[in-house]
A and B are shown apart, each in its own frame.
Chain A
Amino acid sequence: MEAAAFYAFSLIAILAALFILFSKNLIYGAFALFLAFLGVGALFVLAGADFLGVSQIMIYVGGILVLLIFGIMLTQKAVKNSDPTRHNRVEVPISRKVAGVIAGVGCGLVLLRIIFSANFRMAGEAVENRSTIKTIGVELMTSHLLPFEITAILLLVALVGAAYLAMNRNPAK
């Protein structure tokens, strides 16, 4: 049962990723990324990371993906002809395709080779059926307090910086 769920969700994620790679329309790619994020979130839950699964859905699907779709809509190509499928279309020249295939397949082969020759020996047993929320909260407030605070500062800086950058600085005088 667990194996079936694992294979189903990883298949969803991988197929969605490949669909983004091969689709020409960027809006379709963004919605396929939604599926890929959901699949990865389900994999988190299957690996016993319930809190991370929920935050994956809330941060990525609820925040980042909406932001990306807004970005796609705000940067429409100014194509004036009436064909509605021409917007958001990404034309890929053949040299880019060759470079993408070489980079992707090469990186994949190297990673798979490393994984298969790694021969991991795990020190402990896999943890099952225990909520991780208490551990994550205690760790964040004790041994990981400094990164936690730095994260807060980073988010504040990113918020202010993004708002300042995106501000419309040339009003029609």
Chain B
Amino acid sequence: MTSITIYHYLIVGAILFSAGLGIAVTKRHFIGMLLGIELMLNAVNVNLVAFSRYDGERLSGQLFALFVMVVAAAEVTVALAIILRVYGHYKTVDPDDLDELQQ
């Protein structure tokens, strides 16, 4: 009946994951890197949900995606708190400027 196979979901997930990786590498801003990481976590969830479609009895993939979401929420709160502390101390959000340990 359905013409959308699992490959479609996997390809969309792969493209979103690569875009998220590019964002996390490219952006010179802590929050920009967080945006990329959130996008990568979400792309992984697409894969989990797509595989869970064929597992209607137990839905392990969807449960795992639910746990991923919760961990992402916890991660972003702690990361934002750390970013605010770093910004209050160094007055910058550029990860390249925090090179005190290199000297």
Interface residues of A (CB under 8 A from B): 2-3, 6, 10, 13-14, 17-18, 20-21, 26, 29-30, 33, 36-37, 40, 43-44, 46-49, 51-52, 55-56, 59-60, 63-64, 67-68, 70-72, 74-75, 77-78, 90-93, 96-97, 99-101, 103-105, 107-108, 111-112, 115-116, 120, 122-128, 130, 132, 135-136, 139-140, 143-144, 147, 151, 154-155, 157-159, 161-163, 165-166
Known: A26-B31, A92-B27, A136-B62. A158 touches B78 (CB 8 A): yes
Closest CB in chain A relative to B34 CB, distance in Å: 6
Please report the C-alpha to C-alpha distance between residue A147 and residue B4 in the assembled complex, in whole angstroms.
32
B interface residues, Cβ below 8 angstroms from A:
1-4, 6-12, 14-23, 25-32, 34-36, 38-39, 42-43, 45-46, 49-50, 52-59, 62-63, 65-67, 69-78, 80-85, 87, 91, 93
Q: List 12 contacting pairs A-B, 8 Å CB cutoff, sorted by A.
A: A21-B23, A47-B49, A49-B52, A56-B45, A59-B69, A67-B80, A104-B19, A132-B59, A135-B58, A139-B63, A163-B81, A166-B84
Q: Do A6 and B8 touch (CB < 8 A)?
A: yes
Q: CA A124 – CA B57 in complex, angstroms?
A: 10
Contact B59 A136 (CB under 8 A): yes
Q: Which one of B15, B28, B39, B65 lies within 8 Å of A90 (CB-CB)?
A: B28
Report whether over half of chain B's contact residues are helix, strand or loop; otherwise say mixed. Answer: helix
Chain A contact residues, majority secondary structure: helix
User: Bound state CA distance, A66 and B54, in angstroms?
Assistant: 34
Contact (A30, B35) CB under 8 Å given A43-B12, A64-B73, A67-B77: yes
- In the complex formed, the residue of A with least CB distance to B59 is A135
Q: Are B38 and A60 in contact (CB under 8 A)?
A: yes
Of the candidates B3, B17, B55, B62, the one whose C-beta lies within 8 Å of that of A111 is B17
> CB < 8 Å: which of B15, B70, B73 contacts A14?
B15
Residues of the B chain whose Cβ atoms lie less than 8 Å from the Cβ of A21: 19, 22-23, 26
